[in-house]
Amino acid sequence: MVHIDSELVRLLMRVGYTAAWNGLHKEAISIFDGVGAVRPESEIPVIGAAVVALLSGHYEVAVKTLREGALELNPDSALARAHLGVALRLRGDEDEGLALLQEVTSQTADPDAAAMARNVLAMSPDQLKPNLKLL
């Protein structure tokens, strides 16, 4: 396997998220798939794919991707659990999503996952939904 520098992987992930948030969902998935090919042990590109599903309004796909993809790769990933909390809330499972987000805020040492969970906990369901018209 060809060695890919970690900084390049981080840059590709940023480009993938930028594509996703700008409505370039197919392109974002291609980028996340590429990162997954060079980092098959990492849940991070799988989380990226789940974000694309969320932005596309496919909440069930996002929940499945996070549970069966990201969390199977790394069951201890606070970032995957925080994203799952978002996906559950968007899918309408408010209680389960809130409980998971609360768990992440109180039990993780990952500052990014904790901050994300705290921010999402402060949002109403309406505030949480992405404005799909902008994408």
Residue 72's pLDDT band, with cuts at 50, 70 and 90, is very high
Residue 3's pLDDT band, with cuts at 50, 70 and 90, is confident
Check residue 2 and give its pLDDT. Answer: 64
Residue 109 burial class via C-beta count within 10 angstroms: exposed 0-12, middle 13-18, buried 19 and up: exposed
Pick from 95, 93, 99, 94: nearest CA to 81: 99
Pick the CATH number of 6-122 from 3.30.930.10, 1.25.40.10, 2.30.30.30, 3.40.630.10: 1.25.40.10
Q: Provide the 3-class DSSP secondary structure of residue 131.
A: coil
Question: What pLDDT, in 10s, does the model give residues 84-120?
Answer: 999 999 999 999 999 999 999 999 899 999 999 999 9
In this model, does residue 133 exceed pLDDT 80?
no
Judged by average pLDDT, the poorest of 25-29, 38-42, 106-110 is 106-110
Check residue 54 and give its pLDDT. Answer: 95
User: Which residue bears the tokens 């969902």?
Assistant: 25
Check residue 9 and give its pLDDT. Answer: 93
Check residue 125 and give its pLDDT. Answer: 86
